[in-house]
Structure 1
Amino acid sequence: MFSKKTKVTTPNQDFPYWLLAACLIAAFLLFQIATDDIYSKVMATVSRGIWITIFVTLTAFALASALGLLLAVASLSQSIVLRQLARFYIEIVRGLPVIVLLLYIAFVATPLIVMGLNAILEPLGLEAIRTRDFPLLWRAITALMIAYSAFIAEVFRAGIQSVDGGQIEAAKALGLNRWLRFRLIVFPQALKIILPPLGNDFVAMVKDSSLVSVLGVTDITQLGKVYAAGSFRYLETYNVVALIYLIMTITLSLALRKFERTRDVRTQ
């Protein structure tokens, strides 16, 4: 008897039914926004916070990436002092919830910094600064930068360590100094490995940017909270808030997957 062959489908070949379902839900909510006055008012109010969310995400992620790269290089340094300081920073920050770090930076670290600066300025006869001179928006950005820099540092470290040591030895034999070896040999190759997890961190930061609402920053979540509290339209408000975040995060995730597939094809 001949056995009937079954076609094995890998996960990458599955039809994205989840995406179809998400698009149908989004289409329904968009229809509600276009035809329902309550949904329209919610959208008009909440959408004013989109640019704040984008600004917070882009600024905090750029700063976190730069700091994370410095931490990764320090953690791989030949100096035991730099290595231990980098590990201390990374492990402590990774062990704190983002919202706790956000509140600590906003209401503990900032006043302490102001006190320290005033202790220097006042003896010089300069005008003292106040805690409220530091906008809550930038306190939130600083907290997100610190929180994500620790995770991004580990991504960079893993990517740098993945580069074949033989290529580094060959670069040494050619007389390249440490900076040129890093810039021309190590970092370009590590970047190929770093980009996918770095993209995932960026998507995660889009979602975590909603935490700045606890400081009263007028992002999407904060405007939604204020509107829902005043109108008692919680269902409509948070449907719209969820829709906006899902559109941003799913679009970014699909773009990253497309980029990875395109890159894999080019490298084959």
Structure 2
Amino acid sequence: MAAVGPMGAHLRPPPPIGIPCLRLREAKASRRARHCRRPRAGAAGESESDLLDKVAADFARGLDAGMSPDEVLDAQLGKLNLSQAQEGYRNKIKMKLLERVGELRQKQRKENRTFELGKLAYSRGQYDAASKLFQNAVAKVGANTLTGGEAQLWLALAYQALGKEDMCLELYKDLKENHDCKSVRKQATSLLFIMEAPKLKISSEEKVKIPVLSNLERATGRARYSASASAGPVKRRKYKQSFEEKFWENYKPPIQVSNKYVWAASAMVLLSLAWYSTTL
């Protein structure tokens, strides 16, 4: 039975000594460990994978800011004097975060690729294909993320290009009122204002008429041809030729002699000269 102290307060008995005491400490440590593994307040319903992604996202932002992995981990966990075993566990946490950051970045590149393909299709006038790509990008990254909001803005532009103005206006209004990112809400507000602004009625007389460029090029070509034809032949300016130019202009190659008697006489002369040179 517990003792009663002053003012009626109940006093706890001293903890047992020996093995029961060790078991009590182990039980308390186990309860503390289970408590640490629970999600913090305000994060009800989040899985361990979601929490890991959040921590990895913060870790990636630190790396992008130019910090080393150890510096980012110190900022997240705090600088503590850890034992050798605790330091090994800390290194495991760092390696796990680096691995998860790599997975998230690879996933983000794939998601951004779908978004970029949608932009490319939109720039080429393939609005139907672009709208489908933007929808896939939103489904991958999430509607309330920054990339998802930008993809929805492009999706609204694709709707407008397809003539689906009602869907375009509805999407702008939804982004303006419900999106989490302030920049997306601001852009949606501006685009919605432009869409809802009254359109000016311009008469045919007030419209600027631009001539067809192909006809202009044909007319320019005919004008150039007629101008060159009327100018007549172009007189070339004479210049004084040099000695080399005159020589090569009047040069004629030597004519080979094909008479066999001439060749025989030449051979006799050469033989006579050779015999005479031996008698000297």
The TM-score normalised by the length of structure 1 is 0.22
Larger Rg: 2
The TM-score normalised by the length of structure 2 is 0.21
Structure that is richer in helix per residue: 1
